[in-house]
Amino acid sequence: MTVTRLLLLGGTTEALTLAGRLAEAPGLEVISSLAGRTVAHRLPPGRVRVGGFGGVAGLKAFLAAESIGRVIDATHPFAATISRHAATACAEVGVPRLQVLRPAWQPGPGDRWIAVPDMAAAAAALPGLARTAFLAVGRQELAAFAGLKGVRLVVRMVEAPAGALPLEQSEVILARGPYGVADEAALFARYGIEAVVSKNSGGDATVAKLTAARQCGLPVVMIRRPAPPPGEPVPTIEEALSWLDRRR
């Protein structure tokens, strides 16, 4: 039986689940790839590589050296650079690629969302809206809030930051999801949160903060997703599995 090698770009629950579902698939060998920015608390089954490829050129070299026959990009909707690199590298070397992109969250009745295009716009929206705001973003993304005056930021992070945060007034909460709605509402009350800043990540793991914000009547500064690279993404793991089946 010929064996197809699949490169699975991960760092998400979807990628973990996919790796699990494909672990015993006949005729398929999966290599999961993680950026290595945070300490993975669960590793996917099978072969795992960690760290950047070195841009498009590095990724193309990896595809060739490992005789990769398929790429599934199941990275986070805000991981725009690796998705763009994967699209370019696969197009240039002729390896079929599929992106799994979970649906974005949509506002419902009672939601007070302020849609903004990026982190800088989210920071600009806060003065006048809130004296204390809740942020659940990565360390690199905090730079956009560095110049913000008069707003205390309560920042939830997965890992403790290496040094002081580049923020005027801040408090760090260390936690790893998923979170419940009641816990999120209690946290907002405890810290006197008046607005929530969120990336429109989609999915179930971190949606509780939005439900809690609605229940508490808090505005949400919602950061839109970056545009995905060309090609029709699929929203679910099931569709990714049938894409693979059709190409084997």
* Residues near ligand NAP, by CB under 6 A: 9-12, 33-35, 37, 52-55, 58-59, 75-76, 78-82, 85, 138, 199
Closest to 143 measured CA to CA, from 127, 128, 155, 131 = 155
Task: Please identify which residue in the block is written with the tokens 């590589």.
Answer: 49
| CB-nearer residue toward ligand NAP: 59 or 155 | 59
Closest to 220 measured CA to CA, from 185, 183, 195, 193 = 195
In the complex, the smallest distance separating the C-beta of residue 35 from ligand NAP, rounded to whole angstroms, is 4
In the complex, the smallest distance separating the C-beta of residue 112 from ligand NAP, rounded to whole angstroms, is 23
In the complex, the smallest distance separating the C-beta of residue 137 from ligand NAP, rounded to whole angstroms, is 7
In the complex, the smallest distance separating the C-beta of residue 86 from ligand NAP, rounded to whole angstroms, is 9
| CB-nearer residue toward ligand NAP: 185 or 220 | 220
| CB-nearer residue toward ligand NAP: 33 or 170 | 33
Task: Please identify which residue in the block is written with the tokens 């920015």.
Answer: 37
b (16+ CB within 10 A) / e for 120-157: eebbebbeeebebbbbbbebebbebbeebeebbbbbbb
In the complex, the smallest distance separating the C-beta of residue 149 from ligand NAP, rounded to whole angstroms, is 26
| CB-nearer residue toward ligand NAP: 81 or 236 | 81
Which residue is nearest to ligand NAP, using beta carbons? 52
CA pair distance 213, 220, nearest whole angstrom? 7
| CB-nearer residue toward ligand NAP: 59 or 90 | 59
The answer to whether the CB of 114 falls within 8 A of the CB of 125 is yes
What 3-state DSSP class applies to 145?
A: helix
